[in-house]
Amino acid sequence: MPPETYSSNNTAQSVLGRIAPQDFIGREETLNALVSLSTRDETAHGILLLAAPSSGASELLRQAYDRLFHSFENGVAPVYFDWSAADGNSEMAARRFLYTFLLQTTAYLQRKPALVYAQPTLGELVEMIPVSDDQWVGALIEKYERARRESDEDALVRLCLSAPIEAAAKGRRTVVLFDNAHLIEELPGKLALSRELLQILSRSETGFVLSGLRRRLRDAISYEEAHIVNLSTLLLVNLNESEARSLTVRLSAQLSVELNDAARELLVHQFSGNPLFITSVMQAAQRSSRMLTSFLSCQKTYVDELMGGRIKHYYDSQLARVAPSHAMRRTLVRLLYESAMGAEGKASIDSWQKRLDLSPDALQNLIRALHGLEIVSHVGESIKVSDELVWRDYLRAQYRIGVAGEARARVVVEALLDALKRAPQTLDRHYRRKSALALRPLLDRFDWQRVPASLLHYGKFTQAYRGRQAGEIASGLAGETELVRLPQIVYTASAASYYPSPDFICEEEQCVVAHGFDGDFYTDSSEVVWLAVEMDGQKEAGRGAVEWWHERLVNLARRSGFGRVRLWLIATGGFTPDAMKFLSEKDIYASNRHQIELLTSHLEGEAASVVLTETASDEFEIVIPMGGDSELIAANAAEMIARRINFQPEAINQIKTALIEACINAEEHSFSPDRKIYQRFRLESDKLVITVSSRGVRLPASLPKDVRGSQDREDNASNNGLRGRRGWGLKLIRSLMDEVEFERVDEGTRLRMTKFLRPPE
Amino acid sequence: MEITESGVKGEVICSRVEGSVAIIYAQGYLNKISGEQTERECRNRLEDGYRALVLNFSDTQIVNSIGVSILLGVIDAVEETNSRLCFCNVNNHTAQLFDMLGLTRHVYLAPTEEAALAWSSKDQTAGVAAAAAATAN
């Protein structure tokens, strides 16, 4: 029967698609590539679609089918065929293919979408074929009946699979979309089915797609086979961030599930853009009439799905495929969990052999199946359990309930507590990544350019340019005679990929290894490795933090066997004099964020904007970019608003100063992805309420103590009276305003401050 | 009298000298950038040998906490060189701010530039501590 599609309107025309075309998010490029198979005349007409598990390959193929089906004018009939182990053997699968081919071609030619769900007999089907195509169909059926009578299995399989060639020979072009093609190898039969299929397809002009699990399909189709057919390869992985966000928003509208920004971001990043998991949680929220407007509601829905919903069902069915019996599954869950808990989540094949009562071949098949599903990675003699977050949550819950026999309620509540604790960390990691300086792209642009030396020497830079305006700095840099020649960088990677230590995993995107050459020739002696790190914290980095990073980078270089290295430390607020002394002693390059921006603008540049919105007669919203004195714009707006209810000049000045401090605080103390400050002004008869918020999270307390060193010292200094340098903002705000409140929100902290109107004294 | 300018058009830090006193004119919004410009000008004058500085705030309407923290750097520099520092023409709101953050314990706020000059040349041997005591009284 036709699929039940959910759509935001009723204009969608789905044939096989389970999602209305206008609601199918992302994948446009891949979809276009599949659909364009119908317009090709050349012989290179095959696509190998290597899909990650649950990345939505089947729906993509069905969407491609629907688009092709509705392109009546080119006369190219689409055929979607889903390989299934349920066919039992290659002959049955081939016969089902022939039937599907004829049925769907007829549905296309008759312009009858509903026909693809009908189940006519072969005889009835032949009668439905239009006159234009009855000749080749008749001939094909005749050959089929003959092969069947002669019980020639090989001939029968070849004949069925050759249906597209027979059709093409008589002028009926088709595009065949093979789904779950990795299952071909599971079908027993005398013929090597995948090889046979490829050979047949290579002889025809039929456009075709072989789609399946990427690891299994790579195994099933050898390089030589792919080369013979001239297959082009496409990869299908999770949705990218923006597509995942669009999907979440679209589902929220379709399903009428209220969703706020923080919950949306959590879904996008917690599930790494996996469409199945995002859709499952959104649909579950609809079923339980739950609004997704907080981390709590989000994670409750997720844990419900994990413990008894579609996410659990998905993993249950994956495990059931590789371990059909309950007892075997239980043993497998235990083994997977214990392996996951082992060093680096790994176990040896020997240890699995000892624990599982399986023949070597059966064990090999089991591991191969798990590897294909990406539940484990099988490399050499070891098995590494996937550390994908949702899978690990599922595995832990299954082990605790099904193997360790723990009370379900306890497991549920602990899963929820863990998920909640993880939520801010998930976004924290994302925002850090977003607000990071993008060191890798910057290093990738190094190509033997000469740049002013002060950009890589913080001491020189502050000495020359502290207190200077942008124009002065630009002309100063242009006139500098001391230049540093950058290397030509040929490869960059995260430090964590060289040395997976906790020191580098937590700074994955911020510590970069860049290989290159700093001489004129590609020789051993000119080979150099730059180790660049963006240090944490918004203020000056102290000596402790600098020494900490120096030690780790030197250690990384030693362990990785790097020859000549150049260390480069970057601290947003620069370095303390003590730290600079150490940097100079060790000949380490050092820059603050401003220097990096200047270095980057040697190659590029950007601008910002201010948006002022009046929402109601007594309520105003302002969004300002961080930096560039934009807090003054907010302060001036506050002044105009405060004048509306006749605040006295002194009170207006106090409001302005408090607002400026709140903006500075928002800028200094959060990792903001959009670098904007949101302000809301609400006028009441006797007061003005100002709310200042920024997206992003507060600086975490979980950093190593010595890395936080400089920041801690700053914070302490502010408590030591006049000789402190910073940290007065909040003290000032509290003194200048009548009520100051911090509201804890999922994405960080929102500051709300109130000033009451007093009659003039 | 010598008048110098530093900075770029629109945000010029002016200073002049009168006898042994250097007068620096803070400009506009005293934040990180203009604060550092002011600090730089003060340090330059100290390096030139002037031992009394007057910081004139007549063109400064708003000061933020970063600007205040930079002024502390100026106070430090003045103390390190046994010099004297006086602020003048500070508007009421900014004066309240300085008071709130304790700056007035370390620096004398004169109502006008003339008063500041008079205070600065009155007792060249007295340090900032004496000024603070005078302010407190």
Q: Is A502 exposed, middle or buried (0-12, 13-18, 19+ CB in 10 A)?
A: exposed
Nearest residue on chain A to B37, judged by CA atoms?
A: A467
Please give, rounded to a whole number of angstroms, the shortest distance from the CA of A731 to a CA of chain B. Answer: 9
Show the tokens assigned to A312.
């659990």
Contacts of A746 (CB under 8 A, 6+ apart): A262, A263, A266, A294, A295, A423, A424, A427
With beta carbons under 8 A apart, name residues in chain A contacting B93.
650, 653-654, 657
Going by the DSSP 8-state scheme, the letter that residue A556 receives in this structure is: H
Going by the DSSP 8-state scheme, the letter that residue A669 receives in this structure is: S
Look at the pTM and tell me if it is higher than 0.90: no
What's the pLDDT at A104?
95
Q: Is A726 on the interface with B (CB under 8 A)?
A: yes
What's the pLDDT at A221?
76
Q: Is A723 on the interface with B (CB under 8 A)?
A: yes
Q: Give yes or no for a contact between A136 and A170, defined as CB atoms under 8 angstroms apart.
A: yes
| B8-29 average pLDDT score | 79
Asked whether the beta carbons of residue A722 and residue B72 sit closer than 8 angstroms, the reply is: yes
Q: Provide the phi-psi class of B84: left if phi over 0, else alpha when psi is between -120 and 50, else beta.
A: beta
Asked whether the beta carbons of residue B39 and residue A656 sit closer than 8 angstroms, the reply is: no
Please give, rounded to a whole number of angstroms, the shortest distance from the CA of A677 to a CA of chain B. Answer: 17
Asked whether the beta carbons of residue A725 and residue B69 sit closer than 8 angstroms, the reply is: yes
Please give, rounded to a whole number of angstroms, the shortest distance from the CA of A508 to a CA of chain B. Answer: 32
Asked whether the beta carbons of residue B37 and residue A629 sit closer than 8 angstroms, the reply is: no
With beta carbons under 8 A apart, name residues in chain B contacting A726.
65-66, 69
What's the pLDDT at A757?
86
Q: Is A627 on the interface with B (CB under 8 A)?
A: no
- Strands in A326-397 per DSSP E: 346-348, 376-379, 382-385
Show the tokens assigned to A169.
């020979």
Domains and CATH numbers, chain A: 27-236 (3.40.50.300), 249-284+297-435 (1.10.10), 439-601 (3.40.1340), 611-756 (3.30.565.10)
Q: Pick from A84, A322, A61: which is nearest to A186 by CA?
A: A84
Q: Cα dihedral angle (A255, A260, A262, A263), rounded to 10 degrees?
A: -30
What's the pLDDT at A609?
37
Least confident among A325-339, A438-452, A651-665, B71-85: A438-452
Report pLDDT digits (tens) over A148-190. 888 888 889 999 999 998 898 888 889 999 999 999 888 887 7
Q: Give yes or no for a contact between B106 and A722, defined as CB atoms under 8 angstroms apart.
A: yes
Q: How confident is the model at residue A742 (pLDDT cuts 50, 70, 90)?
A: confident
Q: Give yes or no for a contact between A528 and A702, defined as CB atoms under 8 angstroms apart.
A: no
pLDDT at A192 over 80: no
Rounded-to-integer distance, Cα A210 and Cα A611, Å:
50
Q: Is A648 on the interface with B (CB under 8 A)?
A: no
Asked whether the beta carbons of residue A664 and residue B65 sit closer than 8 angstroms, the reply is: yes
Q: Pick from A151, A164, A146: which is nearest to A200 by CA?
A: A164
pLDDT at A613 over 70: no
Side-chain half-sphere CA neighbours of A734 within 13 A: 8
What's the pLDDT at A318?
94
Residues 650-669 of A with CB under 8 A from B: 650, 653-654, 656-657, 660-661, 664
Side-chain half-sphere CA neighbours of A758 within 13 A: 10
Asked whether the beta carbons of residue B64 and residue A661 sit closer than 8 angstroms, the reply is: yes
Nearest residue on chain A to B34, judged by CA atoms?
A: A467
Strand order across the B84-88 sheet: B3-6, B13-18, B21-27, B52-59, B84-88, B108-110
Show the tokens assigned to A158.
């070849």
Q: To the nearest whole percent, how much of chain A has pLDDT over 70?
A: 87
- Strands in chain B per DSSP E: 3-6, 13-18, 21-27, 52-59, 84-88, 108-110
Rounded-to-integer distance, Cα A310 and Cα B41, Å:
68
Asked whether the beta carbons of residue A632 and residue B29 sit closer than 8 angstroms, the reply is: yes
Q: Is B8 on the interface with A (CB under 8 A)?
A: yes
Residues 94-133 of B with CB under 8 A from A: 97, 100-103, 105-106
Rounded-to-integer distance, Cα A275 and Cα A54, Å:
8
Strand order across the A589-592 sheet: A488-494, A511-517, A527-534, A565-571, A589-592
Q: Which of A468, A471, A728 is the closest to B101 by Cβ?
A: A728
Please state the domain extents for chain B: 3-136
Q: Give yes or no for a contact between B110 and B119, defined as CB atoms under 8 angstroms apart.
A: yes
Asked whether the beta carbons of residue B65 and residue A729 sit closer than 8 angstroms, the reply is: yes
- Strands in A434-498 per DSSP E: 450-452, 483-485, 488-494
What's the pLDDT at A700?
42
With beta carbons under 8 A apart, name residues in chain B contacting A631.
64
Report pLDDT digits (tens) over B36-61. 899 999 999 999 999 999 999 999 98
For chain A, the average pLDDT equals: 85
Please give, rounded to a whole number of angstroms, the shortest distance from the CA of A618 to a CA of chain B. Answer: 27
Asked whether the beta carbons of residue B11 and residue A657 sit closer than 8 angstroms, the reply is: no
What's the Cα-to-Cα distance from B100 to each of A700, A735, B76, B97, B104, rounded to whole Å? 30, 8, 19, 5, 9
Side-chain half-sphere CA neighbours of A244 within 13 A: 22
Per-residue HEC secondary structure of B21-60 comes to EEEEEEECCECHHHHHHHHHHHHHHHHCCCCEEEEEEEEC
Asked whether the beta carbons of residue A657 and residue B62 sit closer than 8 angstroms, the reply is: yes
Q: Which of A472, A631, A656 is the closest to B8 by Cβ?
A: A472
Q: How confident is the model at residue A668 (pLDDT cuts 50, 70, 90)?
A: confident
- Mutation choice for B interface testing from A540, A630, A632, A656 by most B CBs within 10 A: A632
pLDDT at B126 over 60: no
Asked whether the beta carbons of residue B29 and residue A664 sit closer than 8 angstroms, the reply is: no
Q: Give yes or no for a contact between A547 and A710, defined as CB atoms under 8 angstroms apart.
A: no
With beta carbons under 8 A apart, name residues in chain A contacting B39.
467
Q: Is B7 on the interface with A (CB under 8 A)?
A: yes
Q: Give yes or no for a contact between A420 and A553, defined as CB atoms under 8 angstroms apart.
A: no
| A467-482 average pLDDT score | 83
Q: Give yes or no for a contact between A322 and A369, defined as CB atoms under 8 angstroms apart.
A: yes
DSSP-derived pairing of the beta strands A611-616 and A511-517 = unpaired
- Please list, residue by residue across A417-427, b when 16 or more beta carbons sit within 10 angstroms of its beta carbon and e when fewer do: eebbebbbebb
Report pLDDT digits (tens) over A561-598. 998 999 999 998 899 999 999 999 999 999 998 899 88
Rounded-to-integer distance, Cα A274 and Cα A183, Å:
23
Q: Give yes or no for a contact between A178 and A58, defined as CB atoms under 8 angstroms apart.
A: no
Q: Which of B35, B65, B105 is the closest to A732 by Cβ?
A: B65
Show the tokens assigned to A514.
């860049």
Report pLDDT digits (tens) over A381-432. 899 999 999 999 999 999 999 999 999 999 999 999 999 999 988 887 777 7
Going by the DSSP 8-state scheme, the letter that residue A181 receives in this structure is: G
What's the pLDDT at A717?
37
Q: What are phi and psi of A625, to 5 degrees?
A: -75, 150
A and B: number of Cβ contacts within 8 A: 66
- Mutation choice for B interface testing from A728, A731, A737 by most B CBs within 10 A: A728
Please list the residues that pair with A16 across neighbouring strands.
none
A709 CB neighbour count, 10 Å cutoff: 22
Please give, rounded to a whole number of angstroms, the shortest distance from the CA of A539 to a CA of chain B. Answer: 12
Rounded-to-integer distance, Cα A401 and Cα A385, Å:
19
What's the pLDDT at A755?
93
Asked whether the beta carbons of residue A632 and residue B66 sit closer than 8 angstroms, the reply is: no
Our CA angle for B58, B64, B70, nearest 5°, is: 85
Contacts of A745 (CB under 8 A, 6+ apart): A262, A693
Nearest residue on chain B to A659, judged by CA atoms?
A: B64
Going by the DSSP 8-state scheme, the letter that residue A79 receives in this structure is: E
Asked whether the beta carbons of residue A732 and residue B66 sit closer than 8 angstroms, the reply is: no
Asked whether the beta carbons of residue B100 and residue A664 sit closer than 8 angstroms, the reply is: no
Asked whether the beta carbons of residue B103 and residue A650 sit closer than 8 angstroms, the reply is: no
Q: Is A668 exposed, middle or buried (0-12, 13-18, 19+ CB in 10 A)?
A: middle
Q: Which of A60-69, A218-227, A441-450 has the highest mean pLDDT?
A: A60-69
Q: Is A633 on the interface with B (CB under 8 A)?
A: no
Q: What are phi and psi of A673, to 5 degrees?
A: -75, -35
Q: Pick from A628, A683, A684, A679: which is nearest to A658 by CA?
A: A679
Contacts of A367 (CB under 8 A, 6+ apart): A349, A352, A376, A378, A383
Q: Give yes or no for a contact between A726 and A746, defined as CB atoms under 8 angstroms apart.
A: no
Q: Give yes or no for a contact between A621 and A615, defined as CB atoms under 8 angstroms apart.
A: yes
Side-chain half-sphere CA neighbours of A286 within 13 A: 14
What's the Cα-to-Cα distance from A17 to each of A175, A284, A523, A690, rounded to whole Å? 16, 21, 56, 49
Q: Pick from A294, A273, A276: which is nearest to A284 by CA?
A: A276
Show the tokens assigned to A97.
């293919």
Please give, rounded to a whole number of angstroms, the shortest distance from the CA of A724 to a CA of chain B. Answer: 8
Q: Widest CA span of chain B, in angstroms?
A: 41
Q: For the domain with range B3-136, which CATH number is right: 3.30.1490.190, 3.30.70.580, 3.40.190.10, 3.30.750.24?
A: 3.30.750.24
